[in-house]
Amino acid sequence: MKSLCRPLMLCLVLLMAHDSQAQATRMIPRQLFNEYAASVAAPVNELDKAFSAAAGSTVAFNFSGKFAFSGTVISSLKKYNNLYTVVVTSPLLHDALFCISKLINNDNTVTYVGRILNDKYADGYVLKKDNTGNYFFNKIKTTELIQDY
């Protein structure tokens, strides 16, 4: 019986090591926006289309660089007199979400904040404003920003 104990313990340790090794490997997420540029111009008149659409309606955005986003408005919310938020989902981009907010500042200037993300893919876009006041979608890698728990 003593002679069986050592090989049995060795097998048990090897099985435990194999299981811990299998849990350490991670699947590399796919890229949704591979075919689009790293930076896409987003004219203000296209961004404003989101705020004139009602919940449940369809809206289409034609951004530069052959990047079009169309989908259904799933949420249109006016939180305060100066803050509007709209969420659009696109079945053409595997249900990616375009979340955009419009903030009217105290000096009556308008600031836009937005993102295009899909939790099943490792990339997305974030809306940024450059020094000249033009808006652009800059590509981001969500795997570097969002950590799994």
Q: Each residue of 53-66: pLDDT tens digit?
A: 999 999 999 988 68
Q: 39, 38, 58: which is closest to 49 by C-alpha?
A: 58
Structure tokens at 101: 């907010």
Contacts of 110 by beta carbon, 8 Å cutoff, 6+ apart? 44, 102, 103, 104
> What is the sign, positive or negative, of the torsion defined by CA atoms of 103, 73, 33, 24?
positive
Question: Do residues 47 and 114 make contact, with C-beta atoms less than 8 angstroms apart?
Answer: yes
Looking at the chain, which runs of residues are DSSP E strands?
39-41, 58-63, 67-80, 83-90, 96-104, 110-117, 123-129, 135-141
CA 118 distance to own-chain centroid: 5
Residue 72 gets the label, from left (phi > 0), alpha (psi -120 to 50) or beta, of: beta
Q: State the pLDDT at residue 91.
A: 93
Give the pLDDT of the chain (149 residues) as one tens digit per residue.
Answer: 556 666 666 655 666 666 554 455 555 678 878 888 889 999 999 999 999 999 999 999 998 868 889 999 999 998 888 999 999 999 999 999 999 999 999 999 999 999 999 988 889 999 999 999 999 999 998 877 655 54
Domain ranges for the chain: 39-145
Chain segment 21-50, per-residue pLDDT in tens: 445 555 567 887 888 888 999 999 999 999
